[in-house]
């Protein structure tokens, strides 16, 4: 498949025109990767992509990054403007924007404040807005290549979860288990993004940092792991029981299993993000676990682990084919235990494709 970056920049130009904005400025981050393919280093030396309504896109880069930028940016019409160690990079970017008579300028949300303030000082009297908003629509709806990348990385994290029972051994610490899982993720991904191993009462904290607690028989353990491969992220949770199922756990877990399935079943074009959230929340509320489900049902995923669309209660955003997000209800009972089940799904033309396939029933590790 050919690189889609020319089309993405063309779409951004269209949005600029529609929004009466003259130029967009993007710093290193996933918006820049989305538009150009360039995984630029977020340095104190500014790297700034400048997209105006007409003319080639320009990228201002430190001279020592020029070769990487030229190799990685896959735009057919691009001018690389480099600067030396003692040059005023923001002044240079401001000059280019000034020369293109940009009166209204959009800046990406991930741009360092020092860069934005520097540009604003150099370009007084302009109006400023968020460039991320202008790129967001394209990023929310994945194209076929992006869906395949997400499916491929989801299959990798499935493989890691299949191996989790081997390392969940009573007597080991969460940190030891997490180190093993990091190594496994590294085998399958180019980068580990996060490893949550939350055992026993620690599982009541959704983003627990793995620590020195030793796994015990009768613990429920939440394992939530993710990494990046070919630029796209995985994110998947299963809950395991060590030796035996904790007392009072089987019933709420069964409700959680039903809640997650109900949310997956609610995914289709035309449904809202609120419908998906409600499908999970209704089941947990009916089981008396409404208060214990302390977070949204899911988040979009792509170049970032967390991106739009947000699967939130009351959310009115309408699902479109190509949207990809997590479905991850959970319950968290302080002092006792917690559980979460998380899969990545993609909206299809007539329903849903679930990218993670590992069994969702509670796995009791011998």
Q: Pick one of 65, 174, 224, 343: the residue that binds Zn ion (CB under 5 A).
A: 224
Expressed in percent and rounded to 5, the helix, strand and coil fractions of the chain are 35, 25, 35
Region binding Zn ion by CB under 5 A among candidate stretches 20-28, 227-235, 249-257, 317-325: 227-235
Rounded distance between C-alpha atoms, residue 241 and residue 221, angstroms: 6
How are strands ordered across the β-sheet holding 23-26? 78-83, 57-62, 48-52, 23-26, 104-107, 127-130
Pair 103, 95: CB distance under 8 Å:
no
Largest interatomic CA distance in the chain: 70
Q: Give the x/- contact pattern for Zn ion in 174-213, rule: CB under 5 A.
A: ----------------------------------------
Rounded distance between C-alpha atoms, residue 290 and residue 71, angstroms: 51
| Smallest gap from residue 301 Cβ to Zn ion (A) | 7
| Smallest gap from residue 174 Cβ to Zn ion (A) | 16
| Residue number with CB closer to Zn ion (275 or 342) | 342
| Residue number with CB closer to Zn ion (188 or 235) | 235
| Smallest gap from residue 222 Cβ to Zn ion (A) | 9
Residue 235 binding Zn ion, by CB under 5 A: yes
| Smallest gap from residue 224 Cβ to Zn ion (A) | 4
Q: Which of 83, 45, 47 is nearest to 63 (CA)?
A: 83
* Block residue for tokens 């429920």: 220
Contacts to Zn ion from residues 300-359, by CB under 5 A: 326, 342
| Smallest gap from residue 325 Cβ to Zn ion (A) | 9
| Residue number with CB closer to Zn ion (211 or 288) | 211
Contacts to Zn ion from residues 91-150, by CB under 5 A: none
Residue 275 binding Zn ion, by CB under 5 A: no
| Smallest gap from residue 144 Cβ to Zn ion (A) | 23
Tokens of 72: 């990685």
Residue-wise over 148-172: b if at least 16 C-beta within 10 A, else e? ebbbebbebbbebbeebeebbeeeb
Rounded distance between C-alpha atoms, residue 143 and residue 17, angstroms: 23
| Residue number with CB closer to Zn ion (22 or 208) | 208
From first CA to last CA, the distance across the chain in angstroms is 45
Tokens of 266: 């609610």
| Smallest gap from residue 209 Cβ to Zn ion (A) | 13
CA distances from 123 to 23, 126, 164 (A): 13, 6, 54
Region binding Zn ion by CB under 5 A among candidate stretches 94-102, 126-134, 154-162, 224-232: 224-232
| Residue number with CB closer to Zn ion (146 or 342) | 342
| Smallest gap from residue 326 Cβ to Zn ion (A) | 4
How are strands ordered across the β-sheet holding 324-327? 307-311, 298-300, 324-327, 343-347, 352-354
| Residue number with CB closer to Zn ion (228 or 237) | 237
Region binding Zn ion by CB under 5 A among candidate stretches 71-79, 233-241, 282-290, 353-361: 233-241
Strand 337-340 and strand 57-62: the pairing is unpaired
Region binding Zn ion by CB under 5 A among candidate stretches 143-151, 208-216, 219-227, 312-320: 219-227
> Over 173-224, what HEC string results?
EHHHHHHHHHHHHHHHCCEEEEEEEEEHHHHHCCCCCCCCCECCCCCEEEEE
Residue 277 binding Zn ion, by CB under 5 A: no
Region binding Zn ion by CB under 5 A among candidate stretches 3-11, 27-35, 164-172, 223-231: 223-231
What does the binding site for Zn ion look like in residue numbers (CB under 5 A)? Answer: 224, 235, 237, 326, 342
């Amino acid at each position: 498949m050919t690189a889609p970056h020319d089309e993405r920049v063309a779409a951004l130009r269209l949005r600029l025109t529609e929004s009466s904005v003259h130029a967009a400025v993007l710093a290193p981050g996933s918006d820049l990767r989305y538009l150009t393919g360039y995984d630029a280093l977020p340095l104190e030396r500014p790297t700034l992509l400048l997209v105006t309504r007409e003319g080639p896109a320009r990228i201002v880069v430190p001279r020592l990054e020029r070769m990487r930028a030229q190799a990685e940016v896959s735009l057919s019409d691009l001018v690389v403007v480099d600067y030396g160690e003692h040059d005023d990079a923001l002044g240079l970017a401001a000059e280019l924007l000034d020369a293109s008579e940009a009166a209204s300028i959009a800046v990406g949300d991930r741009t360092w404040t020092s860069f934005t303030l520097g540009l604003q000082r150099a370009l007084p009297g302009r109006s400023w807005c968020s460039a991320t908003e202008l790129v967001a629509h394209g990023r929310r709806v994945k194209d076929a290549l992006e869906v395949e990348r997400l499916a491929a990385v989801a299959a990798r994290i499935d493989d890691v979860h299949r191996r989790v029972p081997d390392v969940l051994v009573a007597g080991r610490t969460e940190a030891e288990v997490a180190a093993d899982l990091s190594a496994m993720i590294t085998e399958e991904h180019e980068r580990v993004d996060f490893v949550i191993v939350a055992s026993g009462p620690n599982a009541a904290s959704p983003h627990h940092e793995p620590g020195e607690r030793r796994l015990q028989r009768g613990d429920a353990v939440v394992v939530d792991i993710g990494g990046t491969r070919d630029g796209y992220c995985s994110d998947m949770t299963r809950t395991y029981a060590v030796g035996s199922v904790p007392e009072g756990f089987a019933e709420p877990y069964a409700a959680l299993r039903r809640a997650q399935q109900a949310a997956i079943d609610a995914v289709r074009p035309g449904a809202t993000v609120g419908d998906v959230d409600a499908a999970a929340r209704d089941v947990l509320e009916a089981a008396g676990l409404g208060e214990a489900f302390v977070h949204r049902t899911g988040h979009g995923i792509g170049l970032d682990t967390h991106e739009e669309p947000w699967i939130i209660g009351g959310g009115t955003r309408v699902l479109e084919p190509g949207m990809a997000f997590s479905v991850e209800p959970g319950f968290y009972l302080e002092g006792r235990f917690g559980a979460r089940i998380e899969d990545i799904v993609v909206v299809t033309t007539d329903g849903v494709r679930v990218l993670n396939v590992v069994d969702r029933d509670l796995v009791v590790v011998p």
